[in-house]
């Protein structure tokens, strides 16, 4: 799988005001400059562990449960919807490079990845539609890892020398924690941040370790956000309240990347 890049620029619109103090780390000139380009792939976890990770937090349902009446929204739908609103703050071409992993038991583990729309990004209003179609038919009967995707994101960052943010929505199950640690540490050599949004019951011990541990990293490049601790009002905020929660460490990480000279690698 190749994570095809989509360049996303911070919008100049005066209606997008960031009140969180961490965003002040970036200069106003750079924050709203068309020269500040980022690449943001979105990755969704379709592995079989999602079948049982909603026992406590989703009334025993699969985290990918689809209610065709629309009365019940699963955690992935809620987060994807919120993420789409985040992209509206950053986007200038209304496109999200969206991918999934897991769900193809006949393939080797390293190949259980797919694009929501083959060869291109999704339109902002198309992401939820594509997710709905995939989750309605996907058999969650295989394991996979987000580690190969981190390496693909590293390749993207290395080739373009632009800042990248990999957003992963996952139930947090990791088959290969040693490889995951290694990939996250290696990613800190490049202009790449990783935001993990955890859905379901957890446990989140490993995600918290990735966030707060791994002292051998060149900079703190991994942020974990527990979906269950985000107030519903923040998720529903059309003005980007979720951006403040999910991306609150990004300005500091970007400045660390800049100070380390990783953009020029």
Phi, psi of 8 (to 5 degrees): -125, 130
Cα 75 to Cα 50, 69, 195, 263, distances in angstroms = 11, 16, 17, 35
**Number of neighbours of residue 37 by Cβ within 10 angstroms:** 15
Distance CA 148, CA 144 (A): 9
Q: What is the residue range of 103's domain?
A: 37-163+171-264
Distance CA 73, CA 265 (A): 43
Compute the chain's Rg from CA coordinates: 17
Asked if 214 and 222 touch (Cβ cutoff 8 Å), the reply is yes
Q: Examine residue 258 and state whether it is found in any structural domain, yes or no.
A: yes
Q: Examine residue 188 and state whether it is found in any structural domain, yes or no.
A: yes
Number of domains composing the chain: 1
Q: Examine residue 6 and state whether it is found in any structural domain, yes or no.
A: no
The one-digit pLDDT tens for each residue of the chain (265 residues) are 445 443 333 333 333 333 344 444 344 344 444 345 677 889 999 999 999 999 999 999 999 999 999 899 999 998 998 877 766 666 555 677 888 988 776 777 666 788 888 766 777 778 899 999 999 998 887 777 898 889 989 998 888 878 889 999 999 999 889 999 999 999 999 999 999 999 999 999 999 999 998 999 999 999 999 988 877 666 666 555 666 677 788 888 988 998 999 986 5
Q: Examine residue 83 and state whether it is found in any structural domain, yes or no.
A: yes
Q: Examine residue 21 and state whether it is found in any structural domain, yes or no.
A: no
**CATH number for the domain harbouring residue 198:** 3.40.50.410
Q: Examine residue 26 and state whether it is found in any structural domain, yes or no.
A: no
User: What H or E segment, with its residue span, contains residue 122?
Assistant: strand 122-123
């Amino acid at each position: 799988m190749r994570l095809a890049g989509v360049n996303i620029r911070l919008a100049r619109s005066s209606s997008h005001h960031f009140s969180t103090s961490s965003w002040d780390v970036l200069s106003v000139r750079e924050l709203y400059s068309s020269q500040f380009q980022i690449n943001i792939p979105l990755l969704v976890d379709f592995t079989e562990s999602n079948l049982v990770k909603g026992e406590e937090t989703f009334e025993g349902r699969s985290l990918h449960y689809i209610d065709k009446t629309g009365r019940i929204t699963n955690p992935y739908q809620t987060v994807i919807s919120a993420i789409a609103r985040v992209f509206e703050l950053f986007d200038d071409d209304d496109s999200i490079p969206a991918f999934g992993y897991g769900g193809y038991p006949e393939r080797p583990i390293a190949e259980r990845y797919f694009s929501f729309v083959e060869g291109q990004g999704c339109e902002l209003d198309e992401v939820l539609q594509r997710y709905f179609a995939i989750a309605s038919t996907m058999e969650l009967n295989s394991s996979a890892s987000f580690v190969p995707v981190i390496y693909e994101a590293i390749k993207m960052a290395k080739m373009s020398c632009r800042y990248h943010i990999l957003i992963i929505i996952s139930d947090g199950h990791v088959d290969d924690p040693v490889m995951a640690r290694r990939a996250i540490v290696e990613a800190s050599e490049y202009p790449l941040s990783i935001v993990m949004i955890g859905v379901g019951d957890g446990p989140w011990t490993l995600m918290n370790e990735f966030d707060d541990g791994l002292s051998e990293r060149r900079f703190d490049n991994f942020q974990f956000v527990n979906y269950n601790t985000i107030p519903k009002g923040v998720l529903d905020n059309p003005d980007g309240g979720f951006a403040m929660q999910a991306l609150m460490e990004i300005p500091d990480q970007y400045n660390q990347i800049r100070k380390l000279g990783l953009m020029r690698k």
